[in-house]
C-alpha cells in the first residue's frame, strides 16, 4: 500500500537495492558553538552568491517591469523588507554540495532568485487568505494596499 511504498522509497532511494540500516552513516556531533555555528559555516561557502541574490532582490528589477505604479511600489517594499531568504540559500548549498564551481553557481543564483520570488508571491496570497496583518514586522501587502491590489502583486510575481 501507500505506507509500504513510502518506506521502500526511503530505504532504497533511487537504488534498486535496500540500504541496510546498520550501514547508515552515524550523525556527527555538532561543532563547538552548536547548530548556529554550523549554519554560519555553511553560509560562508555561499556568501558571495547570497550577496548577489540579496542585491538583485533589493534592486527590485522585477518591480521595474510592472506597468502599475502601485504594483511597482508594493513589490519594491516587499523585497526591501528583507526576510531570512533560506530558500535561495538552500538552492545554493545544494548546488555547492553537488560540486558546482563558482561559474556554475552564478547560474544557480538566477534559480535562487526565482525561488524567492515565487515564495514571496505565495506569501502575499497566503496573507490575504489568512487575514494576516503583519509580515516581517511590517503591514502585509493587502493591509497596506487592499486585497485586489495585493492579489495583483502576488500574481505579478
Nearest one of 18, 88, 60 to 156, comparing CA atoms: 60
Percentages (nearest 5) of helix, strand, coil residues in the chain: 70, 5, 25
Query: pLDDT 10s per residue in the chain (157 long)?
Result: 556 665 655 555 545 555 565 555 556 676 677 777 778 888 888 888 999 998 888 876 677 788 889 999 999 888 888 788 899 999 999 998 888 887 788 889 999 999 999 999 999 999 999 999 998 888 999 999 999 999 999 999 9
Beta carbons of 49 and 109 less than 8 angstroms apart: yes
pTM of the model: 0.75
CB 78 within 8 A of CB 124: yes
Q: Are the C-beta atoms of 79 and 58 separated by less than 8 Å?
A: yes
What are the structural domains, with CATH classification, of the chain?
46-156 (1.10.600.10)
CB 58, CB 80: distance < 8 Å: yes
**62, burial (CB in 10 Å: exposed 0-12, middle 13-18, buried 19+):** buried
Q: How far apart are CA 79 and CA 108, in angstroms?
A: 19
- Do residues 140 and 132 make contact, with C-beta atoms less than 8 angstroms apart? yes
- CB contact at 8 A, 59 and 117: no
Cβ neighbour number for residue 114 with a 10 Å cutoff = 13
Q: What is the pLDDT of residues 64-101, one digit of tens each?
A: 788 889 999 999 888 888 788 899 999 999 998 888 88
- How open is the CA angle 87-89-93, to the nearest 5 degrees? 120
Amino acid at each position: 500500500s501507500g505506507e509500504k511504498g513510502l518506506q521502500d522509497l526511503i530505504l532504497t532511494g533511487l537504488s534498486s537495492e535496500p540500504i541496510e540500516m546498520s550501514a547508515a552513516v552515524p550523525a556527527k556531533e555538532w561543532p563547538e558553538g552548536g547548530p548556529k555555528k554550523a549554519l554560519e559555516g555553511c553560509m560562508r561557502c555561499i556568501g558571495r552568491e547570497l550577496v548577489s541574490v540579496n542585491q538583485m532582490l533589493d534592486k527590485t528589477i522585477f518591480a521595474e517591469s510592472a506597468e502599475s505604479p502601485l504594483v511597482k511600489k508594493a513589490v519594491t517594499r516587499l523585497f526591501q523588507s528583507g526576510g531570512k531568504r533560506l530558500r535561495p540559500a538552500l538552492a545554493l548549498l545544494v548546488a555547492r554540495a553537488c560540486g558546482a564551481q563558482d561559474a556554475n553557481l552564478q547560474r544557480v543564483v538566477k534559480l535562487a532568485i526565482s525561488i524567492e520570488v515565487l515564495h514571496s508571491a505565495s506569501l502575499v496570497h497566503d496573507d490575504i487568505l489568512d487575514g494576516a496583518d503583519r509580515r516581517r514586522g511590517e503591514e502585509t501587502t493587502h493591509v497596506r494596499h487592499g486585497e485586489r491590489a495585493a492579489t495583483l502583486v502576488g500574481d505579478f510575481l
